Structure 1
Amino acid sequence: MKLFPLSLSFRDNNYESKFQDFYYDLSLNLVRNALLLGLFLYSSFAILDYYLVPDLKHIFWFLRFVIIAPPVLITYILTYTKFFKKNFQLLMAINIIIAGINISVMILMATGVASYSYYAGIMLVLIYCYTVSKLRFIWASVVGLIIIVSYEIISLSLLKTSTMIFVNNNFFLVGANFLGMLACYTIEYTTRKNFFLLELLEIEQQKTKNINASLEDKVINRTKKITETLQDLTKEINTRRLAEEKNNAYNKELELITNTALDFVRLTPQINIYNVISKKLFELIGISPITISSYENSKLILKSIHFNSKLFDKVIKLIGFNPIGLSSDSTDEIENLLLSGKLIKIAGGFQEFTSGGFSQTMSSSISKLLNIKSIYAIGLTSNGKLFGSINIILRGNSSIVDKKNLIELYAQLVSIAIQRDFAIKDLKISEEKNTTVVENMGEGIGIVNSNEEFIYVNKAAEVIFGVEPGTLISQNLKDFLSPESALNVLSRTSNKLENDLLSTYDLEIIRPNGEIRFITVTSSLSPNRQTDEKEIIGIFRDNTIRIKAEQKTLKALNEKEILLKEVFHRVKNNLQIITSILRMQAQLAENESVKTKLQKSVDRIHSMALVQSKLFQSGDFENINIPSYISGIVANLISTNNVSPGKIKINYNIEDIRMDVNMATPCGMIVSEIISNSIQHAFPNDAKGEIGISFKFNSDQFHLELSDNGIGLPQNFDVNSKGSIGFILVNTLVSQLRGNLDITSVNGTKIIITFNNQDLKTFSKIK
């Protein structure tokens, strides 16, 4: 209960509104009585006026009967109107304030001992205000304060009361007002608390009422049922024996249905489930013939008949064949009826039962032979799937009305059993297929347990491990491994058991006959569903032939690599010898032209030697690093021609191009020839200059540009002239590249060579 401490109003406006109505209804009769009581007492004290103030009695009576009485009577009358409910507290407060002020006026007008008597009247007004008036605490406190203030004003201002008397009067007046406030606060708090408790009680009572109503309904219904049961029992007293027989029959049926369910669970795929279904149903209901049909490809196929053998033989003789396996087309209407899982009566008799499989005459003959009364059918269905139907043929006076629920329950059990039977057969077929696939795989498959013992292997695995068929089971994998392979398997098995990883690795196994085989194993973790033991499935591939071929190839490759290194060193030594001889001849030659030609020959040999060096360093004949190759050639030319630092600036613009040796060698020799000519002839008299080398590849075409800003070529210069051996060599090399040569000599010399990316044959490629 949450209240504002001063006003005592509920913090919840809904509660406050309800309390106002509650308080008004609670107080109305008391207020009416209080108004009459107050009017009576206030009027009765007119007798006191007669004795105490005979000279002023007319004035006092005026105050009592003219000032006070009419408002009180009007207020009393208003208590019977809606207006009073809205202004209840205000009207009562006004009446009490008027009464209190009137008494204060009487005290003012009375003299001597008489004034003390009227002082007691204020006490009565305060008591009336805080108790019987039903004013709320906040209203009563304000009214009491107004009355006391009016008295204080009159006492101090008009009566000139002495200090001692004033203090004495105020002690009692304020004390009485405080006690009144306390009483009023307690009364209202108690009232509000009672209201809150009543609200809670009402809520609980409503709950109790609802519960009682519900219980009462249940009691009524239960009483009704009990009454009906008593009536039924009364009617059945004379047929108690029949009821006991039915109960015994029910218990027997329940026992049969329970045993039947267990029998279906224990069924094996080898047993004809349809014969079991018809036989068990006959044991349950004691009626035959019973036929069971399966549903396959929109056809109902007769699978089993439980029937008197002599009559069945007569039926076979009549129709001329055994009806087992006979099929009839199913319609959407029949399927929908069977999918309901309810026992239905076939309206068209035997003719409709066979879906027109027999002629009308034959159907009539069979019906007459078997004395068929009616035929019932129920679908074998589970999860919206139709598996077949149970058909019950009633003969003579037989009936299944009281066995309908039992038959429908039995049909549900049968549907589950058939679904399970299908699943087991499908699983067996799938397992047989998987086993056939695994057994006939070219790769070996094996399963080892946590002790690394084989618990399953296929034929290919036995061949790979070189053992007799059926002897690999229970053998340990480690017995076939070399020491290194055993450690490899141990670490991988431990890691696999911890992390459940799939991995592939190579092993070296030793067959029982001592032959070493190389196999690749792909393994994964598989828990055993029956024992929860960790098992590892491995796929084994015999790679012995491939690995031996690889080893042979690797050996040949190593031999070729050694031979190639030897050839390289010999060629390098021979080139160095030739270079040394040419340099010695150049030093001994007195003719400068001869010296120059010999030096150019040295440069040409160096460019070829540089290609060989790059080849040996990279070991790749298809990817010569052109920027590095060309910069090496130029550096050698600068060095051998003794070019002073700062005389010639080389500007490189070479893309990161890779070429095979057949294209790189002629390119290098072209660069060597042209740059050598530029160094020796483009800048005479120690003139400074620049040489540009640009080599780019774009749209399957190489673009080599060599230029200088020297004096240019001589007038009437002929590239094919016999005197220019260097350019003849360049022409030959360009032709080898199947390219184009363009020479211009304006502000220096610019030579542009373009050629396509192509496969230039070496001598080894020419057959």
Structure 2
Amino acid sequence: MRHESITSADTAADAGAKALLEALPEAALLLSRDAMILTSNRAARAFLGRDVTGEPLSALQAGDDAALAHYIDRCFGTSSPLIGSIVLNDGGKGDSCRLFGCRATLPGGAVVLLRLDPNEDGRFTALNSKIAELHGEIRQRRHAQAILAETVAERELLLRELQHRVKNNMHMLDGILRGAEREARSEEAKDALRDVSLRIAAIGAVQQLLYSSEGIETIDSARLVEAVSKGALALARNEAATRFEVDSFRIPIETAVTVALILNELLTNAVKYGQPASGAQQVAVEMTLADRQVTLTIADNGPGFAPQQSHRRASGVGLVKGLLRQLGGSLHIGSTPEGTTCHVGFPLPEQEVRRDLS
């Protein structure tokens, strides 16, 4: 009677274990010590495509039977889940999944509860492939970026070398002109050679600034005015009182050369022909930037002039007007017995305007 009651209790316990197994959401199997499948739950049957009860676990895999047997043997030794893996054969859809196995004690004896996670190994396969692809693309882009940076650096080096050679050639040409000026016999020839020498020096000043600046496409307006003014102011018989008010902004190299020639011409005229009858000579230079419009003003306190009365100064003004046509600019001259003021205006394209905030 007692034996029958124990058997009934064991049967009830086994039934409860099976019911608990069925309640698990993931695929699960109960295994004997020799890795035979005692039972499987609904999720396992759905995943494997059939009821595998009574089959050996090795029948499901396409891998090493000895490794799988060793894993099951280890699971019998612990109640904590051990992680393993299995590659299912074609009958099991050929999937790879992770295993979580541990010992479970039932009235009939110890078994292994084996849970299958069919997505664990394959879940990130596509993602890992995409990540590897992205890593490869990143490496390619970094390589291309490094090549581009190297190419740009070589280009800048070549441009600076070219600018250096141009600067040296301008200095050599300036020296030749100054030598010819000293050897010239007539004052008219001396004046003509001196004017050409100053214009060459103005262009050379731009090249010198470009060579010594950080950028290779623009130069600072304040430094441009300072460099060009030195040569022209040296023509004054006595040291002139000068005043400079110049906004600092970047001027592209193509525009800078033209601006340097305009500034040199007007400043040379102011120094040469703006000598007052008495008192010290005064020269003022202003350059401002507002709404993409540059305004250059040069004023002296000389006796003034009229174009028809001063051919030399008027010819310089004609050159300035020709240069301004290249910039789309204009020139306005106000001349009185108390002095002459020249107003130059020209636009800078929006992409070329960048104030120096340093």
Tell me the TM-score normalized by structure 2. Answer: 0.62
Give structure 2 stretches of 5+ with no counterpart.
31-36, 46-50, 52-113, 352-358
1:5-404 map, 5 Å: 251-252=9-10, 255-260=13-18, 263=21, 267-268=28-29, 273-274=41-42
Does the C-alpha gap of structure 1 residues 748 and 642 become closer, same or farther in structure 2, counting only changes over 3 Å?
closer
Of 339, 349, 356, the match for 1:758? 349
- Read off the aligned partner of 2:257 and give its amino acid letter: T
Give structure 1 stretches of 5+ with no counterpart.
1-240, 278-303, 305-420, 445-538, 761-767
1:423-452 Cα distance to aligned partner (Å, 9 max, x none) = x78x634642411332465538xxxxxxxx
Shift of residue 677 of structure 1? 0.8
CA contact (8 A) 2:28 2:43 kept: no
Shift of residue 711 of structure 1? 1.9
- Read off the aligned partner of 1:742 and give its amino acid letter: H
Shift of residue 550 of structure 1? 4.4
- Secondary structure at 1:710's aligned position in 2? coil
Taking the aligned partners of 2:43 and 2:146, their CA distance within structure 1 comes to 65
1:705 aligns with 2:297: yes
Which structure is higher in RCO with an 8 Å CA cutoff and minimum separation 6? Answer: 2
Q: CA RMSD, aligned part only?
A: 4.3
* Equivalent in the alignment of 1:678: 270
- Read off the aligned partner of 1:256 and give its amino acid letter: D
1:625-678 Cα distance to aligned partner (Å, 9 max, x none) = 110111111122222x15434xx2221111111111101111111111111111
Of 232, 242, 252, the match for 1:637? 232
* Equivalent in the alignment of 1:594: 189
* Equivalent in the alignment of 2:88: none
Taking the aligned partners of 1:659 and 1:584, their CA distance within structure 2 comes to 33
Shift of residue 595 of structure 1? 2.1
- Read off the aligned partner of 2:13 and give its amino acid letter: E
1:547 aligns with 2:143: yes
* Equivalent in the alignment of 1:729: 319
Does the C-alpha gap of structure 1 residues 275 and 690 become closer, same or farther in structure 2, counting only changes over 3 Å?
closer
Return the index of the structure with the highest Cα Rg: 1
1:292-691 map, 5 Å: 428-429=118-119, 431-439=121-129, 443=133, 543=139, 547=143, 550-551=146-147, 554=150, 558=154, 561-562=157-158, 565=161, 567-618=162-213, 620-639=215-234, 641-645=235-239, 648-685=240-277, 687-691=279-283
CA contact (8 A) 1:582 1:602 kept: yes
Does the C-alpha gap of structure 1 residues 675 and 440 become closer, same or farther in structure 2, counting only changes over 3 Å?
closer
Does the C-alpha gap of structure 1 residues 540 and 612 become closer, same or farther in structure 2, counting only changes over 3 Å?
same
Count of aligned positions: 275
Taking the aligned partners of 2:159 and 2:346, their CA distance within structure 1 comes to 34
Tell me the TM-score normalized by structure 1. Answer: 0.31
Taking the aligned partners of 2:185 and 2:42, their CA distance within structure 1 comes to 120
CA contact (8 A) 2:225 2:260 kept: yes
- Read off the aligned partner of 1:730 and give its amino acid letter: V
- Read off the aligned partner of 2:28 and give its amino acid letter: L
Does the C-alpha gap of structure 1 residues 664 and 715 become closer, same or farther in structure 2, counting only changes over 3 Å?
closer
Does the C-alpha gap of structure 1 residues 601 and 686 become closer, same or farther in structure 2, counting only changes over 3 Å?
farther
- Secondary structure at 2:124's aligned position in 1? helix
* Equivalent in the alignment of 1:739: 329
- Secondary structure at 1:650's aligned position in 2? strand
Does the C-alpha gap of structure 1 residues 684 and 592 become closer, same or farther in structure 2, counting only changes over 3 Å?
farther
CA contact (8 A) 1:712 1:748 kept: yes
Taking the aligned partners of 1:708 and 1:255, their CA distance within structure 2 comes to 114
Does the C-alpha gap of structure 1 residues 759 and 726 become closer, same or farther in structure 2, counting only changes over 3 Å?
farther
- Read off the aligned partner of 2:187 and give its amino acid letter: E
Shift of residue 586 of structure 1? 2.2
Taking the aligned partners of 2:21 and 2:297, their CA distance within structure 1 comes to 97
CA contact (8 A) 1:621 1:660 kept: no
- Secondary structure at 2:349's aligned position in 1? coil
Of 319, 339, 358, the match for 1:748? 339
Does the C-alpha gap of structure 1 residues 686 and 543 become closer, same or farther in structure 2, counting only changes over 3 Å?
farther
- Secondary structure at 1:432's aligned position in 2? coil
CA contact (8 A) 2:277 2:302 kept: no
Taking the aligned partners of 1:545 and 1:275, their CA distance within structure 2 comes to 46
Does the C-alpha gap of structure 1 residues 755 and 545 become closer, same or farther in structure 2, counting only changes over 3 Å?
closer
CA contact (8 A) 1:693 1:705 kept: yes
Structure (1/2) with the larger strand percentage: 2
Taking the aligned partners of 2:43 and 2:121, their CA distance within structure 1 comes to 26
